[in-house]
Amino acid sequence: MKMTVFIAGIALLSGCATNSITGRQQILAIPSVQAAYADARFALTAGVQQVASVLPCAQDCAGGEGIAKFSRRVMDIGAKLEAAARKDFPEAIERIGQFQIEVSDSRGMDTRSSAGGRIVLDAGLARLDPTDTVLGFLIAREMAHVIAQHAEEDSGASLVLSALGTLLLPGFNLIIRYAVTTVASSALKGSWAADQLREADEIAVALLERTGVSAPYIALDLENGVKRVLLPDDDWGMRYLESTQRVVEMAVNGALPPSYSASGN
């Protein structure tokens, strides 16, 4: 395993490539390895979150409409967005096959995605009483992370730093190497995190526009289509507000990168 990570990391050291969708330089030298590594980490994290979550959701977690009804809404909206993705981003669909969208029974409010196209929404999000447009944006934003290969990019950073740790810190024990490479990997990922968030919002708007929802309407619903007082005071909640502000600016300026614009296809 160590040798595999080392070899993969060395290959990635000179593996920057221009993403055909975002136009940004990313570490995508061996995307299949990076995707497998990212999916393994996602599966582990998802398992930990499920074990650590407070009691599984009952009906009240879904804000009165019930988990089954909330899940049906998510699946119906997700199917429309996937159809849009197949038209606008066929290379991404070819890479993953299809999106697998699901609702967890967690009381939390979070959304997450894997490199392989698995998208998970917490049932607790239903307490926000989101409109279909808001739900669509949340799903589309996770689809966007998959389309833009953000998980592969992040796993590339981990593999690169693991390789460098093996190469440059051979005399140190495993714990020290892990601590050093983890800090360095987090710093490297942080250097492009803002770009990833912006790209995800832009692609999400493009997907929703393909389904017939205009950017001004998306912006209006993100501002007014949830119970704002129930937004969690955490990273996800702050991300929601950040996305709202960005989409409002996009609606005002009427600007999407040409490669994302549904009207350009």
- Is residue 51 scored above 90 in pLDDT? no
Q: Average pLDDT of 169-190?
A: 50
- Where residue 1 falls among pLDDT bands split at 50, 70, 90? very low
Q: Average pLDDT of 146-154?
A: 89
Best-predicted range by mean pLDDT (6-15, 17-26, 46-55): 17-26
Token output for 166: 């093996």
User: Which of these ranges, 4-18, 72-86, 177-191, has the smallest mean pLDDT?
Assistant: 177-191
Give the model's pLDDT for residue 159: 62
- Is residue 225 scored above 70 in pLDDT? yes
Instruction: Give the Å distances, CA to CA, from 60 to 53, 111, 113, 127, 223.
Output: 16, 19, 25, 8, 24
- Where residue 258 falls among pLDDT bands split at 50, 70, 90? low
Beta pairing partners, 119: 101, 113
Give the model's pLDDT for residue 21: 86
Give the model's pLDDT for residue 62: 61
Burial 165-191 (b: 16+ CB within 10 A, else e): bbeeeeeeeeeebeebbeebbeebbee
- Is residue 128 scored above 60 in pLDDT? yes
Give the model's pLDDT for residue 244: 97
* Ranges of H-type helices in 89-234: 90-96, 132-147, 150-168, 174-210, 215-224
Of the chain, the percentage scoring pLDDT greater than 70 comes to 65
Mean confidence (pLDDT) of the chain: 79
Of the chain, the percentage scoring pLDDT greater than 90 comes to 51
Q: Average pLDDT of 131-148?
A: 97
Q: Average pLDDT of 16-25?
A: 82
Give the model's pLDDT for residue 40: 75
- Where residue 25 falls among pLDDT bands split at 50, 70, 90? confident
Tens-place pLDDT, residues 58-112: 555 665 568 889 999 999 999 999 999 999 999 999 999 999 999 998 889 999 9
- Is residue 176 scored above 80 in pLDDT? no
- Where residue 178 falls among pLDDT bands split at 50, 70, 90? very low
Angstrom distance (rounded) from CA 265 to CA 258:
9
pTM: 0.79
DSSP per-residue string spanning 140-177: HHHHHHHHTTHHHHHHHHHHHHHHHHHHH-TTS-HHHH
